[in-house]
Amino acid sequence: MNDIGQKGYLDIIPPFLSKETQIHYYQDLERNIKFKRNIENQFICMKGFSSSTPLFHSVAFDEFSFGGGLYFRWNGKGVVVDPGIGFLSLMHKHNIFLADVDIVIVTHSHLDHNQDVRSIASLQYDLVNQRKRTNKFFSSFFTVESRDSAYHIEWYLDETTAEMMKGQIENVHPLGDMCDGKTHDISSALDIGMRVFTTKHCDFSYGIKLFFKQKNREFVWGYTSDTGYFDGLSDNLEGCDALVLNISEVDSAEYNREQFKENHLGFNGCVSLLEKNHPKLTVISEFACMRGDNRHLIVKNIVRYSDEQMKLRILPAEIGLTIDISGEMMKCSICGEVVSIKEIYSIRSEKDYWKIRYVCKDCIIQAGNFR
Ligand SMILES: [Zn+2]
Ligand SMILES: [Zn+2]
Ligand SMILES: [Zn+2]
């Protein structure tokens, strides 16, 4: 090494050191897309099949057929529930960025419910730190407005997930501390409330009820998460406008309604719950369908049992299913038009495990005869 060369290099600051950090790609994309999208006051399902199948599906079918997680948007705040396998990429695919995540709720520590907690935390860490680095450089020239609050997240976690994330995240609230039958405010604007109850699934597993509040009224969404049917379940979910039920695999004994599954709702659990509770809208989620894609057949039979007099709307869930928080309107998967949920037909895919589509009456012919 020659002395002059070494000294010369050290004296000149290489130009790359004064460049913006990569964070600007993420933030530019976010800024551009924000104007084009409409996610306000919507529920977006990003959950496909249950944990018994995603690893098969990802190989045999579509890497996004499993998914993990639900996203609720209310008054500019984003609530993520159970970010399982592939949630983060699905979230970005749906034009939702980390700044759109304010609250993360994890009901239990199974990979289809919490695998992407680490990814979210890691992205949060990177964004905050890259911004600090960028700000540090630019603040020597300009006054930089701090936007770190944009990446602030409040975490409501089951105890096992909280333990797993110990030391990696801040603002953690164990769900076990909230099972007191009361509604807890989970947004600083006091417009989102949550009630938590224990479920029959594994150590530290919970179901939730979310209250989206407006001046004159509120919309209540219940989520069973994974649970066997139990006596108090219907009381815990009383008065919901919409319910998201995780059904899992349907077995012959419980399909005949002779018994219940131990740790999942199954067919009998869903029907039994809907016999007692009559939400305007029910979304059946987390199918296992290990013996073939029977999502529509299962839902049709749940409707037959529970819908005859009630005129409830019961839909099979799919990644991308988007419904207004009011539970009254939703987007047609083909034309993108937002119409009354009563005018939407769910259309099964032409192949097993492919995407379900939700189409308006104008698009039904185009969708083909797959009802
Ligand atoms: Zn699950
Ligand atoms: Zn589970
Ligand atoms: Zn349409």
How far does residue 226's CA lie from ligand 2's centre (Å)? 5
Element (H or E) spanning 357, and its range? strand 357-359
Output the average pLDDT for the chain: 88
Specify the pLDDT at position 150.
86
Ligand 3 ion: residues within 5 Å (CB) = 332, 334-335, 360, 363
197-251 pLDDT tens trace: 999 999 999 999 999 999 999 999 999 999 999 999 999 999 999 999 999 999 9
Structural tokens at position 305: 């049992």
Q: Which pLDDT band holds residue 286 (cuts at 50, 70, 90)?
A: very high
Q: Which ligand is nearest to the CA of 53?
A: 1
The pLDDT value recorded for residue 65 is 59
Cα 368 to ligand 3 centre (Å): 13
CA 311 – ligand 3 centroid, Å: 23
Entry pTM? 0.91
Residues that place a CB less than 5 A from ion ligand 2 = 110, 226
Domain boundaries, the chain: 21-33+40-327
Which bound ligand lies closest to the C-alpha atom of 248?
1
Residue 106 structure tokens: 């994890």
Ligand 1 center–CA 327 separation, angstroms: 23
Architecture label for domain 21-33+40-327? 4-Layer Sandwich (3.60)
What confidence score (pLDDT) does residue 141 get?
58
Question: What is the mean predicted confidence (pLDDT) over 262-274?
Answer: 97
Least-confidence region, from 1-10, 84-93, 117-126 = 1-10
pLDDT at 22 over 90: no
* pLDDT of amino acid 60: 63
Question: Which has the closest alpha carbon to 366: 337, 327, 328?
Answer: 337
- Residue 15: its pLDDT value, please? 81
- Please tell me the distance between residue 264's alpha carbon and the centre of ligand 2 in angstroms: 8
Q: How far is the CA of 201 from the centre of ligand 2 (A)?
A: 7
192 vs 308, higher pLDDT: 192
- Identify which ligand lies nearest to the alpha carbon of 333: 3
Q: pLDDT tens-digit profile of 250-259?
A: 999 999 999 9
pLDDT at 17 over 50: yes
Distance 172 CA to ligand 3 centre (A): 42
Amino acid identity for residue 226 in this structure: D
- Burial status of residue 121 (CB atoms within 10 A of its CB: 0-12, 13-18, 19 or more): middle
The residue behind tokens 């179901």 is: 207
**Across residues 325-332, what is the average pLDDT?**
94
Amino acid of residue 186: I
Is the per-residue pLDDT at 153 higher than 50?
yes
Ligand 3 center–CA 156 separation, angstroms: 37
Which ligand has an atom closest to residue 364 CA? 3
Average pLDDT over residues 21-50: 89
Q: How far is CA 20 from CA 24, 135, 295, in A?
A: 7, 10, 48
Q: What is the pLDDT of residue 353?
A: 83
Structure tokens given for 221:
């969404």
pLDDT band at residue 1 using 50, 70 and 90 as cut-offs: very low
High-pLDDT (> 70) share of the chain, %: 86
